[in-house]
Amino acid sequence: MTARTAAAQRERGKADAAREKRAALIALDWGTTSLRAYLFDAAGEVLDTRISTAGIMNLPVPAEEGGFDAAFDEACGVWLAQASALPVLAAGMVGSAQGWVSAPYVETPAGEDALVAGIVKVRAACGVELAVVPGVLEPGALPNVMRGEETQIFGALGAQADAQAAHASRPAVQAEARTAAQVSAQTVAQTALIGLPGTHAKWVVVEGASIARFYTFMTGEVYAALTAHTILGRTMKRPVVPDTAAFLRGVTVAREHGCAGVLATAFSTRTLGLTDQLAADEQPDYLSGLLIGHELAGLEAVLSRRDVELAACAPRLIGTDALCERYRLALAQFGCGGAQIVHRATERGLWRIAVRAGLVVGAGQTA
């Protein structure tokens, strides 16, 4: 090892030590197939992130042989070695019946206080205690559940409150005597629509800062099944780049001709190809648009039963930028403009819940 290399390693070690010294919280987004670990400082900023494939169904060793402990140590062991007293918060499938500990669902309407009241704790082999956030259940004849999304939802609400508070702090706005607290209170009182596209897409209606009701659409999983396991996939060819025109064509078909339902319109993916009206490399995006179009048509219908017009909403979208952009384009076809993509919803949500649970001290609080 050269003197330069040794000096560089010492500097990195000092930087790591300084970073760990500022650490205030470890938070985990622990799902079925992946684990994301975040190290926060006392201001709620993320100092470091660790990403692992050790979801609850893909642990390093079987659960009964200490799989959760092994995954936790692999993701967070270095942080804990330098700051073992850090509080730890976890959300997602880690609190399911197949998870590390069962954190029973809380029922709608569910606000942050309900989530905090439902937190269940589990102690790791290393002695560290994890606080696990519960999921949310909407009871009824057709019950609905979420686990992990509730944390993202409150992160999205926090992002909007922070943005409006920042706006309220500007001199021109201060002249109108609107304080950040007033803006936050106004935000809480509003009804919000939040979409979480994905394998099981969810649309959540938030009223008075509580999850009032939500709808789950198996859009992503159905798309994967249709393309991989039905005759529709036989004539498809993956495009080099996404075909937006074909996607929007599918959305339009679902919106204008979808009254017979997705089981009827889905077959048009094949027949349009057979009649040379849809090229093989257009078919995947067409089917994607068709399914998302049916999803939004269903959403529009269920919202209208509560006198809510989809076109009048300005939804917030949580997910990958590419998928959220697709939904933004599709929403526009339903007259719903103004959809905004929310970034860092998971991190914001984890921090907000940790503050509400008293695991850390938030801005404006005293220890």
Tens of pLDDT, residues 138-150: 999 999 999 999 9
Least confident of 121-125, 256-260, 327-331, 359-363: 359-363
| Mean per-residue pLDDT, 68-73 | 98
| Mean per-residue pLDDT, 213-218 | 98
Share of the chain above pLDDT 90, in %: 81
Query: What does the pLDDT read at residue 190?
Result: 73
Residue 344 has pLDDT above 80, yes or no: yes
Residue 167 has pLDDT above 90, yes or no: no
Q: Alpha-carbon distance 353 to 27, whole Å? A: 10
| Mean per-residue pLDDT, 343-363 | 94
Query: Distances from the Cα of 246 to the Cαs of 19, 250, 286, 339, in angstroms?
Result: 48, 6, 5, 21
Least confident of 171-180, 201-210, 271-280, 300-309: 171-180
Q: Is the peptide bond before 134 cis (omega within 30 degrees of 0)?
A: no
Please state the pTM of the whole predicted model.
Answer: 0.86
CB 345 within 8 A of CB 318: yes
CB 254 within 8 A of CB 289: yes
Domains of the chain by range and CATH? 20-149+348-356 (3.30.420.300), 216-336 (3.30.420.310)
Query: What does the pLDDT read at residue 160?
Result: 63
- Burial of residue 283 (CB within 10 Å: 0-12, 13-18, 19+) is buried
Query: What does the pLDDT read at residue 179?
Result: 46
Q: Residue 329: helix, strand or coil by DSSP?
A: helix
CB 131 within 8 A of CB 90: yes
Mean pLDDT of the chain: 90
